[in-house]
Amino acid sequence: MMKIKNTYSLLFILFFGIIFASQGQEKSNKIVTGTVLNATNKEPLAGVNVRAGNFSSVLTDEKGTFSIKVPDGRATLILSSQEFQDKEVALRGRSKIEIKINKKDFNTYYTDVNTPLRAKSNSSVVGAISVREGNIATARESAANMITGNEVSGMRSIMRSGIPGIGSNNFIRGYNTLNSSTQPLIVVDGMMIETNTFNNNSIIRGYSYDPLSDINPKDIANITVIKDAASIYGSRAANGVILIETNKTDDVTTKIDFYAQAGLNISPDNIRMMNADQYKTYLSNQLNNSGLYTNSEISNLPYFNESTSFQDYEKYHNSTDWQKQVFDDNYVNEYYLKVTGGDEIAKYGLSVGYSTNGGVISNSDFERFTTRFNADTNITDRLSLSTNLSVSYTDRSLYDDGLLSTSPIFSALNKSPFLAPYTENADGVVTDVYQDVDDIGGFSNPVVITDVATFVAKDYNLYGQLNFGYKISDKLTLSSLSGVNYIKNRQNVFLPDLGLSEETNDFGDAFYRTSKVSVESLFSVYNDTRLNYKLNVDNIHDFSINLGGTL
């Protein structure tokens, strides 16, 4: 114990010794001159801010040149511009320097990244972090799709299925546990979002609610994946953190953006299956090899009766491609309006989006309406307020997914091709009455599932937050983020008696076809208050201390 105390004491003395030694060094008023160029075309850049910490600051002239006073030759120059990336350049004793900077959309070592406490240059980040920038023109369908391209190192995203808006399972650095959740923590504009609320209570099998589907991807400025954030968010961040920052504006000019996109979802190519004649041969061989039937008994079965006078001849002599019955091409439409503007005191951004995405399974669909309002206000010189409000509504028409009698794909791949989806009358005319469960394998009629059965999931999401910032002094800042999140999830399932085969539970009891309704809601309150102290030593060394808590 004594050895540990001595070690801490030594580190304490060493830390403050460096600070006092730095303060005691001789200061000088050194003049540094230089030129700032566009890294792409080598043209000089005017109006770029060049500063040496809090010591001095200048702007480049029309030739891109500047002259700045620095405390000494060890200082670091920080360049910033509205159109170009911030950059830090260590002088290392130089009195004349040429600096090249890139546009903000160019990915470099100095790109700004969103961290839990504040945005900072990637060059000053010491943790494992990856960033994916949003793009209004190319963003499609859902936020989950923005992180499922496996473009983030150390992270793997797997779409749950091909159903529009179904979401994904995300794993940062693989599986961390067998018994608990392996999903990372989702943080939107500094506020933690519940992701596992309704996952185990769905009455639509194969479906689970994904809160990321409630966010319009065109509202996303960037997505940052942090692999080590337990020191900030605690055990909830044991599987990593996904930080989502929505669009804000830095420009006071009023700007209106409108996007309209349309597309086509093309049904997949059919899996090669047996045709009607091949299936009959296969079925005959299976029955013969079972030893349960003689050859005469097999030939007398109704689906092997080749007599046209047989009353059920039309029922068992068809050539149905069941995959074509359940798969279909569909359309995608998306409309998005965004208005931004403001003045030197307040800046705002308002967006409204509506999208529909028809699935490749007949009558499946994903519909979403979103609206979001962001505002940044400087109430006084010391007090600031950021507001973030959003409302979203999603409506999904989908189906049970898996090896289930209520899954249209499973039934289509198992249904006999010499059967038909509809019955015929005595004159051989096809009616609109659906065929019931077949007497061969007992499989459901896939067309009944897509046309009659109902699987609907509706989500309502209300999200709002207020973030106050108060500058107590030049070194001390207090921030408090308070927010609420209300989610309502409603699922409706209707299963008809006709056309669907029976299923049994673990005890062998048959399930009765019926209507089912599930309604769940979540109301959460969030607060994150932090006190930040910044210390600059000799205009060279910067220290930042954060103290706070999350509720």
- DSSP-assigned letters across all residues of 75-103: -EEEEE-SSB--EEEE-TT-SEEEEEE-B
Residue type, 286: Q
Q: For residue 24, what are the contacts with CB-CB under 8 A and spacing of at least 6?
A: none
Q: How many helices and strands, by DSSP H and E, does the chain display?
A: 8, 27
CB atoms under 10 Å from CB of 162, counted, come to: 14
Contact 515, 527 (CB under 8 A): no
pLDDT of residue 2: 43
Phi, psi of 541 (to 5 degrees): -100, 130
Which residue in 101, 113, 19 sits closest to 64, CA to CA? Answer: 101
Do the Cβ atoms of 145 and 158 come closer than 8 Å?
no
The b/e string for 65-91 (b: 16+ C-beta within 10 A; e otherwise) is: ebebebbbebbbbbbebeebbbbebeb
Classify domain 28-109 at the CATH topology level: Immunoglobulin-like (2.60.40)
Distances in Å between the Cα of 386 and the Cα atoms of 142, 190, 469 are 25, 11, 8
* CA–CA gap between residue 146 and residue 128 (Å, rounded): 19
CB 241 within 8 A of CB 264: no
Q: Which fold has domain 129-246?
A: Ferric Hydroxamate Uptake Protein; Chain A, domain 1 (2.170.130)
Q: Which two tokens stand for residue 239?
A: 């599987």
Residue 22 confidence (pLDDT): 46
Q: Which of 463, 339, 444, 448 is nearest to 389 (CA)?
A: 463
**Kind plus residue range of the DSSP H or E element containing 18:** helix 2-24
pLDDT of residue 21: 46
For residue 343, the model assigns a pLDDT of 86
Burial zone of 203 (CB within 10 Å; 0-12 exposed, 13-18 middle, 19+ buried): middle
pLDDT of residue 18: 47
List Cα–Cα distances, 54 to 75, 125, 535, in angstroms.
11, 21, 11
Helix (H) or strand (E) holding 51: strand 49-52
Q: At a CB cut-off of 8 Å and minimum separation 6, what does 413 contact?
A: 271, 273, 322, 323
493: tokens are 């399932």
Cβ atoms of residues 384 and 377 within 8 Å: yes
**Cα angle at 371 between 367 and 374, to 5 degrees?**
150
State the pTM of this model. Answer: 0.77
pLDDT score for 480: 93
What is the structure's pLDDT at 259? 92
Q: What is the pLDDT along the chain (551 residues), one digit of tens a residue?
A: 444 445 545 555 555 454 444 444 444 578 999 999 998 889 999 999 999 887 889 999 999 999 999 888 888 898 988 888 888 888 888 989 999 998 877 766 666 666 666 666 666 665 666 666 666 555 555 555 555 455 566 677 777 777 777 777 777 776 666 666 678 888 888 888 877 666 667 888 888 888 888 888 888 888 888 877 776 777 777 788 888 888 888 777 888 999 999 999 999 999 999 999 999 999 999 888 888 888 888 888 888 888 888 888 888 889 999 999 999 999 999 999 999 998 888 999 999 999 999 989 999 999 999 999 999 999 998 999 999 999 999 999 999 988 888 999 999 999 999 999 999 887 778 889 999 998 888 899 999 999 999 999 999 999 999 999 999 998 899 999 999 999 999 999 999 888 888 776 566 566 666 788 999 898 999 998 989 898 877 666 778 888 888 77
In contact, 511 and 501? CB cutoff 8 Å: no
Cα 292 from chain centroid (whole Å): 55
Phi/psi of residue 281, each to 5°?
-65, -45
- Of 439, 454, 413, 224, the closest CA to residue 323 belongs to 413
Residue 132, pLDDT score: 66
pLDDT of residue 23: 46
What is the C-alpha to C-alpha distance for residues 172 and 504, in angstroms, rounded to an integer?
38
